[in-house]
Structure 1
């Protein structure tokens, strides 16, 4: 109650106030407390509350201020005991278990600490006296010092004063320090003695028996040697002991002394320790034994192999004999059949072998199956592993090149999924761009209170676009015309574009050179719109292979032509690097970043107590604010200080050290997550890093490996990972609800961590202005070594061909033709750029691209490709028509080689013979047998084989009839109408041509060609496996894209709800209609008046004193947000222009302060917006 006029009280400590004041009231003589007594008591209790709070939060400074304060009323409080007071108070608080320590508890703690410290001082003095007595050399003085009460020594026996003196001198002389684990050692040693005693009891008994059997001399004295060279004498009967030798001393010979016992104990302990050592190293011993046994086994195996190798001639002889046995068996059966036909032979002689064979038929079948299975396995291993597989083995597995119905179905599923993925990617990109634009417009609406018409219209457009799928824009053109119209002229145009884009897609040199022929802003737009579309956003392995090949070629071209200094890669913004990072941080690489960073980012965000501040000034200001908040008084410290002044305060240094420690801890978590995730980084990023490192090393051979790895780190960490750490919400690393955002502390923490990792990745130390962070430099150096190993591992990737299993025949082997989905505007834009720069991208006149561009002719209009009537140049429908998409089934015009190109001709012949484009089962394999051995083989062809060949052709025709049109090959390279003999003649002719070209060699039985066929069989298997994996991957990608679309729809609903709220507020604030109309009349101002308001800055070629002759008339037009501005000079109308309010807001958003009107008048943009708001919108 303020009327009580008492000091500030704390409601959370109500129990403390109640308990203590009640106690004081009971102690008062009259049973009540006066106002002065209450004033003092409440003030003391509030100080006690503050002490308890300081203890809870660990604020030592605040606690000490309250302890030393006169308000608290504590007595005997010493400044130098502050640390001890704090420790004692914390201990008492834990022991008491209550919420608050009382004033009496605190005073008792103070007194207890003072008493303890006083006793410590007295003990120190007593120890000093003991040392002085030792220096004096008098054992009696040493005894008196030991008996002094301040020394706190117990069980001191005056009779052994001399021994005390000797031992203390020895201890001081050796400066022995008692180890903290002596007790543990003693316990373990004692336990070991008892274990050894139990195991070696017989040794003890035997040893003691020998001593008892010896003659007893009857002496009562025993002498024991103790450490330090002293002897102790003990009487067995009286139990007395002495450090001096008794008169007539004789050693008893029936008792064990220490040396006897120690020798037995040491022996037993040594045996036990040796046994434990063997047990502890049992695993190592087992490994050693296994290694020895393995060596012996390998040695025996090698000897066995050497023996078998030496017996090769004998084994070959046995196998030859074994192969002749079937013929001998057949011959013997024939002879038996002939003999059995003799009517003079007996029945038993005729049927005996057949009966015997029937009895063993099951065993024969099993043996044959076993032999065939082993033979098939051996043949398959030969096909897979052999460098030169035999033709007989290849012929057995050539049927694997056939395409089944499942192959066709999977290919159709792949085509459908690829189309859906590309469509969804483009739809999401357009949706994201529209959402970003709406976000900007809503921001301008809030900031400038602009009218809502444009935002609402944009929202309606967005919603309408989102209701239908983007694929609806890819519908067929009208029948009367368009690129895909049914006419010869349009068909040739379509094929020409398909040939052109196939060449651009498969030959990266053209696009790589074209990128650097354009300005950077145009090249970036071209890459984002056309290149990714051309490669279907790398939706399958073929397109990803070609896109990465383009990146490689373009990066090499850029380094070769644009980079003069190695550091330009880091300091500049290379076009290809930017494109690679943008692509790999998109839908494909975003999931990788999420897997790597999401767990640690979420952990940092969930830690609400984490507050990383490394700027001493910020820490200083935060400390001052905290003190003022706690005390309620203005701080006497200055608020504005330099970093050096801030670091002069102990509290700032303490907080900085704690912040640095926290930063190192969390940075370690990020670093550990990054360096173990090398396999999660997209292959495209790793391959680009390898190309970057190798290309830079090739151009700058003197550069060290550290310099190259720092540039690789700039790509992998700074450009790829760092932005995702700084802004995880922007890169979909974490999930936030609609409208949610990161707090300032969270962003600062992540920014500090990212800065630390960037310094570690580039091996950059904190120096100069960041000298206060010098303690981190050692940590940065060690972290760089981890990053260095990470960068080296990231660059260790297979080549593109090995990764994607692609060669020059891949497009000819695949079932389906490549298809791209591209807008009409992008087609025309690409065509225009190629015509403008064709000499730069292809200097050779016989380059294929010149022929293709010549076939296309001039650049067509949008209307001609769509099939619409020509539109005026400014018609807005032209832009919409340009976004219409068309699918192009790419084909290679130069598939069929000319006679002049012998190399391409050789490749085509290889395809024809090797079965890549023919039915493998229809190839007459016997043609590969060399002529000298033809007499060893049966006739190559027979009427039966001709019939089988015709059946194979019929089966192929039926299969081709079922094949979808999109998956049929462009044209057959082998005439299936040929007979078997005709095909034989054709193959022999081709083989002869290949031999002339040096591609095959009859001397080795055309083994080169057989190797290519075997490679095709292996690749076909890998392709099927890869296709199944790609199906799964595309399904996952499609699901992720649908999820992203759903998320965007949630944002759209959120924005629409916000716009609706704004419209409701606008409707509720409508003013008088008449007053509103009055605001819409035109406004006239002289230039002088506008200059006075600050709206007009200057008019070129016109003095300020002539501004009164210039009149500006501003009037709203019929369109919302558009104003007509008229300029008059001395009453003569000069010019009229239209000014869009939205353009002014955009200029203000972009930070443009001034603009030109009529190319002469300089206007202040912000003040012009203010004027329009005031005069026309009533704001």
Structure 2
């Protein structure tokens, strides 16, 4: 837009606002500017540090799980040591050398950040194994600035859309927000950001200390456990066998007079501790972060809209409590060290903390204690009965917050000015992962051929494959609004006005420096003059800001009736800016307060990082010890293995690929098993394969990465179908008593399948192919 298009704004700007900007209290202005710069840097550091902790925490859990499998002899030491590479944080940086590629990615992530329906839809489409990667990108990259109003607004808008979809598809209240989905994981992760952590410290530390500070406190109320402990204590103290029988039923234990005497005061103590937790939580209502309360509000409104008029208050509060207590409060109670609420925790405290958490869980779910398994918890129903109405009242009050648009409170003071440029720090693999997800689901995400997402993806071309950890690096990506005019048309008018006011201040502040250099008669007092100055100085950013101001003003006047004309609009903005300029003291005080809060948040994040690094150190020491023992034992066997190797190789008929013979290859197999042998061994429980075909069928098992196995069913030499097995999934099935792994045509015995995989791929005792 040239200055000739701005004639109607020619006299819109007077010299008074320039004078106000020039005559600001420079000392106080500098103090506030410095504070705002520190706030900006702190927010950025919190964002990056939180992302590092999330990645590190995820990798620690992975290695922890693999060590657990190692202990159970279900994974090899080599596989665990390979996983150790995941513990190195990615601190390398790079740039995308292809300028057009860099700009297209900037456009893509601007679109995803600001048009939240794309991410909301992706959250429904991703597979379980993709959730963590999407979670990292959404919570710590796209909306990683936890104290930036605009990003918070966008993130909550995204939650709103996903929740709406979740409720739209729900058939009953009982099925809502229960599964481990991208939505529920995002909601949990959201509660663990800075504001959520601050609230946990404020509300839980005191009741937690009531338990963790008591070294000798024992809250065990299971009569069988108490009975056994009583016998052990008696024999230890007296040196004589206990007169009580060892093996008795739980009911007999509960009737024992000594056990009753021990349990009674513990029940009273648990009720008292439960009250203390609940009192602290209820008393801190006003400190609950707005975003968490807003999510509770969405749950309430969506439940009532979906299930009215049959839904009860108890059901509604049960869902709100499921989010607030079970996903937010209880994990911090059960594992307070992981949330940095207490430094150390004694073994008996870990068990003690499970009881108040269980009490709050039943209170939230409106489920009474009792039944065959937990009959001994029934006395705690006193706590549930007296607190049910209190909790429901609190959960109802949680939802009494203003709507998003009313809550959005952009920084009022603009002395430092806000840059219109937005940057995110993102890894190459994050970019490529999101790019590939969008490609995969493009027909659902953007069915319209003119959709902005399709246009950008078309320019980008195919997604690059994932890089190795050694090749992956961080990229500073400038977000670019390719569809600025379209977005401005649909944006909230208050946001447009606030943004325009900030832009105007940035422009005026820069123009004030030019005014100082020219005579009074040549003072800059119009947009046309400003455009001319920007053009002469070849200042493209200044020109872009001026263009955006003009476009926004036009939208505000014509579409939203913010003012009658340009003169009125400029007058309104000038008045607001002048009021802000003369509130230095209040803004300095607020910025100082914000700085202290954010410093505490950053300190907590850094403390958590130290905690995670200590965990890594423990793992490394453990693995080094295991490796040393392994190498010692292995070296003593090498001579015998060498001697037997030739005979063993000549006898085995197990087939392997040429690649698997290389010590550098991670691929194992294929290992060949005849159908008839697996059926004879009891591995195949049921089958739809015709009897006359079974003698010509065999299975090839291969593994290219730890814990994942590909099985190809072969008929003669033709591949019929493929099955992918995951050890974690099989172990989970085993742990909950599921003994059958079902495919389209056969059922396999889970226990025998785990045994076969363990024997074949972990211990190295490769079975011989037995064909009939």
Partner SS, residue 425 of structure 1 = helix
What's the CA shift for 1:721?
A: 0.9
Counterpart position of 1:112:
none
Q: RMSD in angstroms over aligned alpha carbons? A: 5.9
Question: 2:322–2:365: 8 Å Cα contact kept in structure 1?
Answer: yes
Match of 1:1044 in 2: 608
String of CA shifts for 1:271-301, please: whole Å, max 9, x gaps. Answer: xxxxxxxxxxxxxxxxxxxxxxxxxxxxxxx
Give the distance between the partners of 1:409 and 1:726, measured in 2 at CA: 41
- Residue 805 of structure 1: how far off its partner (Å): 0.9
1:76-91 alignment, distance < 5 Å: none
Say how many residue pairs are matched: 707
CA contact 2:740–2:747 (8 Å) conserved in 1: no
**Per the alignment, in what secondary structure is the counterpart of residue 291 of structure 2?**
helix
Give 3-state SS (helix, strand or coil) of 1:887's partner: strand
**Match of residue 436, structure 1, among 61, 66, 73:** 61
Counterparts of residues 1041-1080 of structure 1 (less than 5 Å): 1041-1069=605-633, 1070-1071=635-636, 1073-1078=638-643, 1080=645
Residue 715 (structure 1) shift: 1.8
CA contact (8 A) 1:1001 1:1007 kept: yes
Q: 1-side partners of 2:269 and 2:248: how far apart?
A: 26
Q: Which runs of 5+ in 2 are unaligned?
A: 1-13, 513-517, 654-672, 767-772
Match of 1:505 in 2: 113
Structure showing greater radius of gyration is 1
Shift of 1:888: 2.4
Instruction: Tell me how far 1:971 sits from its aligned partner.
Output: 0.3
Structure 1 residue 822 and structure 2 residue 426: aligned? Answer: yes
CA–CA separation in structure 1 for the residues paired with 2:388 and 2:174: 19
Distance 1:764 1:997, change over 3 A: closer
SS in 2 for 1:722: helix
Taking a change above 3 Å as real, the CA distance of residues 1146 and 735 of structure 1, as seen in their structure-2 partners, is: farther
- Output the CA distance in 1 between the equivalents of 2:698 and 2:308: 69
Which of 461, 480, 490 is the aligned partner of 1:860?
461
Q: CA deviation at 1:1094?
A: 5.6
Map 1:484-883 → 2, pairs under 5 A: 485=99, 490=100, 493-518=101-126, 522=130, 525-530=133-138, 532-538=140-146, 540-559=148-167, 561-569=168-176, 576-586=183-193, 588-623=195-230, 630=238, 632-633=240-241, 635=243, 637=245, 639-641=247-249, 643=251, 645-702=252-309, 703-736=311-344, 743=347, 745-769=348-372, 775-806=379-410, 814-834=418-438, 840-841=444-445, 850-851=451-452, 853-857=454-458, 860-862=461-463, 878-880=467-469, 883=472
2:69, 2:75 within 8 Å by CA — same for their partners in 1? yes
Distance 1:399 1:558, change over 3 A: farther
Report how far residue 648 of structure 1 moved.
4.2
Counterpart secondary structure, 1:972: helix
Does the aligned pair in 2 maintain the 1:504–1:510 contact within 8 Å? yes
- Report the 3-state secondary structure (helix = DSSP H, G, I; strand = E; otherwise coil) of the residue aligned with 1:822: strand
Give the distance between the partners of 2:176 and 2:711, measured in 1 at CA: 49
Structure 1 residues 765 and 1121, CA gap change in structure 2 (3 angstroms):
closer
TM-score by length of 2: 0.72
Contact 1:914 1:1009 in 2 (8 A): no
1:458-477 Cα offsets, whole Å, 9 max, x none, are: 44x357x35xxx342x3124
Instruction: Indicate yes or no: 2:71 matched with 1:446.
Output: yes
**Partner deviation per Cα, 1:1131-1171 (whole Å, 9 max, x = no partner):** x9999xxx99x9879966874989999x9997643266457
Shift of residue 879 of structure 1? Answer: 4.5
Pair 1:422 & 2:47 matched:
yes
Q: Which has the higher contact order (CA 8 A, sep 6+)?
A: 2
Post-superposition offset of 1:1075 = 0.8
Equivalent residues of 2:707, 2:727 under 8 A apart: no
In 2, distance between residues paired with 1:453 and 1:820?
A: 37
Give distance in 2, aligned partners of 1:992 and 1:462: 50
Q: What secondary structure is seen at the aligned counterpart in 2 of 1:516?
A: helix
Whole-angstrom CA distance in 2 between matches of 1:1078 and 1:902 = 77
Partner SS for 2:461: coil
For residue 884 of structure 1, report the CA deviation from its aligned partner: 3.6
What displacement does 1:626 show? 5.1
Q: Please report how far the alpha carbon of residue 1014 of structure 1 lies from its aligned counterpart in structure 2 after TM superposition.
A: 3.1
Distance change (3 Å), C-alpha of 1:957 and 1:1032: farther
3-state SS of 1:919 partner: helix
Distance 1:1123 1:782 in 2: 53
CA contact (8 A) 1:822 1:887 kept: yes
Aligned match of 1:476 in 81, 87, 95?
A: 95
Runs of 5+ unmatched residues, structure 1: 1-390, 864-872, 924-942, 977-985
Aligned equivalents of 1:690, 1:698: Cα separation in 2: 12
C-alpha distance 400-646 of structure 1, shift in aligned 2 (>3 A): farther
Deviations 1:523-554, CA, capped at 9 Å, x for gaps: 66534434542112535333223212322333
Alpha-carbon distance change, 564 to 399 in structure 1, aligned in 2, over 3 angstroms? farther
- Call closer, same or farther: CA 1:626–1:762 in 2, change over 3 Å: same
| Structure 1 position 888 matched with structure 2 position 477 | yes
**Kept after mapping to 2: 8 A contact 1:663/1:753:** yes
Describe how 1:44-55 pairs up with structure 2 within 5 A.
none
Deviation at 1:997, TM superposition (A): 8.7
